[in-house]
Amino acid sequence: MKDFKTEDTWMVFKILGEFVDGFETLRKLGPAVSIFGGARFPEDSREYRLGLEVAEALAREGWAVITGGGPGIMEAANRGAAMAGAPSVGLLIELPWETQANPFVNIEVDFDYFFARKVMFMRYAQAYVVLPGGFGTLDELFEALTLIQTAKIRNFPVVLVDSTFWKGLIDWIRETMLARKTISEKDMFLWKIADSAEEVVAIVKEARRKAEAEDRDGIASGREGLDGDDRELPVAKSRPPRSAAPTVLPETPGGPDVPPFDGPPPPEGTGRVRRKTRRR
């Protein structure tokens, strides 16, 4: 018979190790945006293209991009960040059908536990951009909304991209949850809607401007950081475009349109910064 008590005790150390790996890897990342979206969208889909454009536009404005490191929209977002020469982070979860990060990740952290992984998504981002996706995407969306609603994290922007995809959910929240008073009227303003990369960038930049102003006011009056979170806001610096030509998808992963990571050198022979060896 299994000794569950002993197994649970050792699990604590494993969980602790995942938090240490994540904190040590990401603590010097700088300004970043977490981008969530489904793994099932192929490269030739409208959603994939939109994810790439959003990530590249944010990266040009000085943000690193954090994703789940998998295929679909996660790959598109990491690809857009890499094309802009930005840190392209993949927080990979151990799943039977996903054994490695997409080829556009240049900083990888591996997890067995979803909850440890979600802490990294939330703690090291200044905005949450959510594209179409499935249950995992919804889980990450409502995690962010809950933490903001309960003032456990700063009131950073949550941007829902593709209004046609999110309309049904928002209508249900309004007509069912709000109508039955399971949420407040003000909770309907916890997110913004966008349909283009330009709109996403404008929302994120405006939210950052307001947060910096509130932080300055808080420091002047002796108050703590916004919403009880005293983390210092890292400074985002715009990255000059590599050319004026429109983005062209490389024909193969890692093609000529994907520049090398402009950051700390990866371990020799790996081609990327990686914190943990994945179990096989």
Answer yes or no: is 196 within a domain. Answer: yes
Answer yes or no: is 274 within a domain. Answer: no
Answer yes or no: is 178 within a domain. Answer: yes
Q: Classify 33 as helix, strand or coil.
A: strand
Nearest partner of 126 among 66, 168, 186, judged by Cα: 66
Q: Which residues pair with 192 in a beta bridge?
A: 159
Domain ranges, residue 74:
19-230
**Is 70 exceeded by the pLDDT of residue 137?**
yes
Q: Give φ, ψ of 139 to 5 degrees.
A: -60, -45
Q: Classify 106 as helix, strand or coil.
A: coil
Strand pairing class (192-194; 158-161):
parallel
Mean pLDDT score, 45-73 = 97
CA distances from 187 to 101, 181, 270 (A): 35, 11, 45
Mean pLDDT score, 203-221 = 79
Name the least confident of 54-58, 187-191, 194-198, 225-229.
225-229
For residue 192, the domain's CATH number is 3.40.50.450
Mean pLDDT score, 134-154 = 93
**Is 60 exceeded by the pLDDT of residue 160?**
yes
Answer yes or no: is 249 within a domain. Answer: no
What angle (nearest 5°) sits at the alpha carbon of residue 218, between those of residues 217 and 224?
170
DSSP state of 174: I
Query: Per-residue pLDDT tens for 223-275?
Result: 344 333 444 445 555 665 444 344 444 443 444 344 443 444 433 433 455 55
- State the pLDDT at residue 93: 86
- State the pLDDT at residue 213: 82
Half-sphere exposure at residue 157, Cβ-oriented, CA atoms within 13 angstroms: 24
- State the pLDDT at residue 273: 57
150-189 in b/e form (b: 16+ CB < 10 A) is eeebbbbbbbbbbeeebeeeeeebeeeeeeeeebeeeeee
**Is 90 exceeded by the pLDDT of residue 212?**
no
- State the pLDDT at residue 232: 46
CA distances from 184 to 174, 190, 203 (A): 10, 11, 23
**Is 70 exceeded by the pLDDT of residue 145?**
yes
Number of domains in the chain: 1
Q: Give the global pTM.
A: 0.78
Answer yes or no: is 41 within a domain. Answer: yes
Answer yes or no: is 255 within a domain. Answer: no
Predicted confidence band of residue 4 (pLDDT cuts 50, 70, 90)? low
Distance CA 73, CA 71 (A): 6
- State the pLDDT at residue 275: 52
Answer yes or no: is 250 within a domain. Answer: no
- State the pLDDT at residue 237: 59
Answer yes or no: is 123 within a domain. Answer: yes
**Is 90 exceeded by the pLDDT of residue 63?**
yes
